[in-house]
């Protein structure tokens, strides 16, 4: 029996990604995402052969779930002892809906991971759960509340705005995971669930940039921030080149609320966050 719940935020082996291993007092693991194929050796090291009581896949982007897919394609996930897998991805059938503001973008989003994931889905069917907003899991001393899941109609930033948002509650701490939620998803999260957001620790949405609005972080009011960000991303300016181009921003006005990491870092300073763990500095371990 471990004395505390431990949270490990794994550093990048691939260019940037998101991967967490939470170890419970009963020495079971909860995995969030995992990163790419190149990130799998480090993930296996931190899981350390423990049973994975829950593997949560926040959303279907390469930097979050392509490692998971790779493992099942390679050997059916034989290197892991997984009990349950939770996710809620948008339906691929959206590809038939041409009446969206930016169809080509949506097609790229749908094709990034979903076709590959559907190939391995038969292999995980007996462990798979579609997680819905409002559901709650109990894993040893940990409670997980899903506060946001895919909403129909959020297509402009389709995959990021389908991120599962959930709160991990241990006997001592609360941690809010925002996945890669963007401005519009953040607006809905705030309107529907702002009274549930307060947490001690927050995983900064979308690696710290192009993410939810400041009011979401104000409602969370966390003292501690978890940044899945390499050097260049943590040091990013307010409006990087790729966010300065009106052609990229024009299909949807909510993209005008996408900023570089410097803006988010300033918000957190103004909101009084005092401690920052950043994957650029290596794997970060937090006692919960």
Where on the chain is the footprint of Fe ion (CB under 5 A)?
A: 63, 180
Compute the least distance from the CB of residue 138 to Fe ion, in Å. 28
User: Phi and psi at residue 78, in whole multiples of 5°?
Assistant: -65, -20
DSSP 82-151: ES-EEE-PPPGGGGG---STTHHHHHHHHHHHHHHHHHHHHHHTTTEEE--TT-EEEETTEEEEEEE---
Compute the least distance from the CB of residue 59 to Fe ion, in Å. 8
Q: Which is nearer to Fe ion, 8 or 61 (CB)?
A: 61
Compute the least distance from the CB of residue 4 to Fe ion, in Å. 28
Span between the terminal Cα atoms of the chain, in Å: 15
Q: Which is nearer to Fe ion, 6 or 106 (CB)?
A: 106
Compute the least distance from the CB of residue 208 to Fe ion, in Å. 10
Q: Which is nearer to Fe ion, 19 or 193 (CB)?
A: 19
Residue count of the chain, please give it. 288
Q: Which is nearer to Fe ion, 170 or 230 (CB)?
A: 230
Among residues 153, 151, 114, 146, the alpha carbon closest in space to that of 132 is found at 146
Compute the least distance from the CB of residue 40 to Fe ion, in Å. 17
Q: Which is nearer to Fe ion, 5 or 227 (CB)?
A: 227
Buried b (16+ CB within 10 A) or exposed e, 212-223: bbeebbebbebe
Partnered with residue 145 across adjacent β-strands are 136, 167
Question: Does an H or E element contain 41, and which?
Answer: helix 40-47
Rounded to an integer, what distance in angstroms lies between the CA atom of residue 169 and that of residue 25?
Answer: 13
Compute the least distance from the CB of residue 231 to Fe ion, in Å. 16
Q: Which is nearer to Fe ion, 110 or 142 (CB)?
A: 110
Compute the least distance from the CB of residue 89 to Fe ion, in Å. 14
Q: Which is nearer to Fe ion, 161 or 180 (CB)?
A: 180
Q: Which is nearer to Fe ion, 180 or 200 (CB)?
A: 180
Give the torsion sign (CA, 195, 201, 203, 204): positive
Rounded to an integer, what distance in angstroms lies between the CA atom of residue 123 and that of residue 35?
Answer: 20
State the burial class of residue 84 (Cβ atoms within 10 Å of its Cβ: 0-12, 13-18, 19+): middle
Compute the least distance from the CB of residue 58 to Fe ion, in Å. 8
Question: Does an H or E element contain 49, and which?
Answer: none
């Amino acid at each position: 029996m471990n004395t505390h719940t431990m949270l490990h935020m794994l550093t990048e082996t691939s260019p940037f990604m998101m991967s967490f291993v939470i170890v419970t007092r009963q020495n079971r693991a909860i995995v969030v995402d995992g990163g790419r194929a190149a990130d799998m050796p480090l993930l296996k090291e931190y899981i350390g052969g423990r049973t994975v009581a829950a593997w949560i896949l926040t959303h279907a982007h390469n930097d979050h779930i392509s490692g998971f897919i790779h493992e099942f394609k390679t050997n059916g996930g034989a290197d892991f002892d997984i009990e349950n897998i939770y996710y809620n991805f948008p339906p691929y059938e959206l590809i038939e809906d041409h009446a969206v503001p930016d169809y080509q973008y949506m097609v790229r989003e749908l094709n990034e991971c979903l076709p590959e994931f559907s190939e391995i889905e038969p292999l995980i069917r007996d462990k798979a759960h579609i997680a819905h907003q409002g559901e709650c899991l109990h894993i040893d001393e940990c409670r997980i509340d899903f506060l946001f899941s895919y909403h129909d109609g959020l297509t402009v930033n389709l995959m990021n705005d389908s991120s599962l948002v959930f709160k991990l509650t241990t006997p001592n701490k609360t941690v809010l995971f925002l996945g890669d939620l963007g401005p519009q998803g953040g607006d809905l999260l705030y309107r529907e669930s702002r009274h549930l957001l307060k947490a001690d620790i927050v995983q900064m949405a979308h690696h710290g940039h192009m993410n939810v609005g400041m009011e979401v972080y104000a409602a969370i009011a966390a003292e501690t921030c978890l940044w899945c960000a390499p050097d260049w991303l943590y040091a990013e300016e307010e409006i990087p080149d790729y966010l300065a181009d009106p052609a990229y921003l024009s299909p949807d006005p909510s993209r005008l609320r996408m900023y570089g990491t410097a803006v988010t870092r300033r918000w957190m300073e103004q909101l009084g966050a005092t401690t920052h763990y950043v994957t650029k500095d290596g794997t970060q371990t937090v006692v919960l």
